[in-house]
Structure 1
Amino acid sequence: MGLLTGLLTFPLAPVRTTVWVAEQVLEAAEREYYDPAPVRRALTELEQDLLAGRIGEDEYDRREDELLDRLDELERYEQRRAT
């Protein structure tokens, strides 16, 4: 970038910085949202709750289905990203 270009575009620096920060926040949120580790951890905790008698079979089945659906969604997302 030349000196003249730098001087002419200097007033846009706050806008460019704001856009860059927004992109970084979006990327971090997407990484967190599409991370399967918390879903797997929730499945493990759910099974422990069932075995300890803190929840019944019906509750376990309902919540397990929700978590497995979420894992399927994450796997489809990863497959789309890979292609």
Structure 2
Amino acid sequence: MGVLWNLLSLPLAPVRGTVWVAEQVLEEAEREYYDAGNIRRQLEAVEEAREYGEIDDAEAEAMEEALVARLIEANRRSRQGDAR
């Protein structure tokens, strides 16, 4: 039955391969998005932009708020990963 199933499902192989690649891309994007080091660098860049007058306080606060929320989520994900 295994050989027959493999032959019958062969036309679906490109679809399965595409799905696998999409899943890998998503995982890497999430890893990068929730990387604590990247988030901290972005927070530093926001502070620097505020100091140089490139953005105002309201913009900086909004950006910092979003980045801190990501950092909290990154820490939560990290703790969940450690528990596994």
TM range (shorter): 0.5 to 0.7
Point out 4+ residue stretches in structure 1 off by more than 6 angstroms. none
Over the residues paired in the alignment, what is the CA RMSD in angstroms? 2.7
Q: Quote the residue 1:64 is aligned against.
A: 64
Residue 27 of structure 2 aligns with an amino acid whose one-letter code is E
Distance of 1:34 and 1:7 partners within structure 2: 41
Worse overlay, 2-11 or 30-39: 2-11
> Structure 1 vs Structure 2: percent identity of aligned residues?
49
TM-score, with normalisation over the residues of structure 2?
0.64
Q: Quote the residue 1:76 is aligned against.
A: 76
TM-score, with normalisation over the residues of structure 1?
0.65
Structure 2, gaps ≥5 residues long: none
Distance of 2:34 and 2:26 partners within structure 1: 12
Task: Tell whether 2:42 aligns with 1:42.
Answer: yes
Task: Tell me by how many angstroms 1:40 deviates.
Answer: 0.9
SS at match of 2:8: helix
Q: Quote the residue 1:19 is aligned against.
A: 19
Structure 1, gaps ≥5 residues long: none
Residues 34, 74 of structure 2: 8 Å contact kept: yes
Residues 43, 64 of structure 2: 8 Å contact kept: yes
Distance of 1:43 and 1:75 partners within structure 2: 16
Worse overlay, 58-67 or 6-15: 58-67
